[in-house]
Chain A
Amino acid sequence: MENLFDLFVRNVFIDNMIFAYFLGMCSYLAVSKTLKTSVGLGIAVIFVITVTVPVNWLLENYLLKAGALKWLGPAFADYDLSFLSFLLFIAVIAAIVQLIEMVIEKFSPALYNALGIFLPLIAVNCAILGAALFMQEREYGTIAEAAVYGFGSGFGWALAIVVLAAIREKIRYSNIPAPLRGLGISFILTGLLAIAFMGFMGIKV
């Protein structure tokens, strides 16, 4: 349990999806103009990552990696299908996003309308595929670790976008030099936030 909590904290603050790895930057910069849309997108991303990373973990450990197919029989123990990872991961992500879209539409039409176009766009958010690929690279031992990793990454991403949106709303009436307005200042702000988050390095729970 202690290990899982440490994993969660580490992925929210130290290995933050945005500030350490720059994953999901495009939608991060595009959607952080207002706080409301950022919160909505953040929640959607947390949901999608927390569902897709464990599913991809199952795929990775029972289908893709070297020797994963041995449950089918000893003849299959030598197979290494890891070159198919990209294709299968992105297919799973696209399918799950489609499923989540249908579930949300059925159970909460208000949330569905609030999220609008962002839900299908999450399928191509690099944070989702990136989380799956990092999970594969780090070779998590149990599905619980993979799930906590997914939740932590999503939470870190959501935290980052909400913070930037809050700042951008505040500086809307500030005197920023014209060429820096909009995109330029967002980059510099994100850089400063990243420096701030670096202060969490070495944190021990």
Chain B
Amino acid sequence: MASKNLKLLTNPLNNENPITVQVLGICSALAVTVQVKPALIMAISVTVVTGFSNLIIASIRNTIPPRIRIIVQLVVIAALVIIVDQLLKAYVYDVSKKLSVFVGLIITNCIIMGRLEAFAMANKPWESFIDGIGNGFGYGLILVIVSVFRELLGSGSLLGYQLIPESLYQLGYKDNGMMILPPMALITVGILIWIQRSKNRKLIER
């Protein structure tokens, strides 16, 4: 039992990564990765919502009438997101302002709906919870990698701490302003996919 659950936690990190393999949850992964701190907060929020919505839906899966399945799922997810949003506004207001609409968009984050349909509707609550957390971690991993590159190369800092020393700036080094702009997020993820599929040849299409 324990090793099967461990697989649920580790598979989404590489082989079944929600972003690079399942192609879910891309929207927020690109938009919030300008700096590491919002990316981390977003990753934690999505992990919490995915885990708990998986848990709740798996607990009531046998009592949901099939015709209103999607509505029930959306209501559960929306309620959890409202709670997360209020918590974020209360405890990390500056980050919540940076995330703006993307906190609300966790509701339509395909990872959550995807895992509910693919896993929670057919499995027991505890396993579903672990699966939700695992997919949240996989999502968070990509978010952190992309945001580290973008913040380091785009602003020379990490988590707000200036990492590139002043002396380097005086020698003529300039921050790559392009990294902060949206297009580079897309290209960075493209390159990440390239690297992942070179190492893991099973994931190559066709």
Interface on A for B, CB 8 Å cutoff?
A: 19-26, 29-30, 83-87, 90-91, 94, 120, 123-126, 128-130, 133-134, 137, 177-188, 190-192, 194-195, 198
Contacts and interface: CB of A to CB of B under 8 A. Distances in A.
Nearest to A177: B194
Interface residues of B, number: 48
A91 B75 CA distance: 8
B159 interface: no
B107 A184 contact: no
Contacts of A84: 82
Most chain B CB within 10 A, of A19, A21, A124, A137, is at A124
B190 A187 contact: yes
B183 A194 contact: yes
B23 A87 contact: no
Contacts, number: 134
B101 interface: yes
18 contacts: A22-B31, A22-B185, A25-B27, A29-B26, A83-B86, A87-B75, A91-B74, A94-B71, A123-B70, A128-B108, A177-B194, A179-B194, A180-B190, A183-B205, A184-B197, A185-B190, A192-B187, A198-B181
B131 to A, nearest CB: 19
Contact of B105 (A20, A23, A85): A23
A133 B101 contact: yes
B183 A187 contact: no
Contacts of B28: 22
B103 to A, nearest CB: 9
B153 interface: no
Interface of B: 20, 23-28, 30-31, 70-71, 74-75, 78-79, 81-82, 85-86, 100-101, 104-105, 107-110, 113, 181-187, 189-191, 193-198, 201, 204-206
A124 B27 contact: no
A179 B130 CA distance: 30
A182 B206 contact: yes
Closest 7 CB pairs of A and B: A187-B190, A191-B186, A179-B197, A182-B205, A194-B183, A191-B187, A25-B26
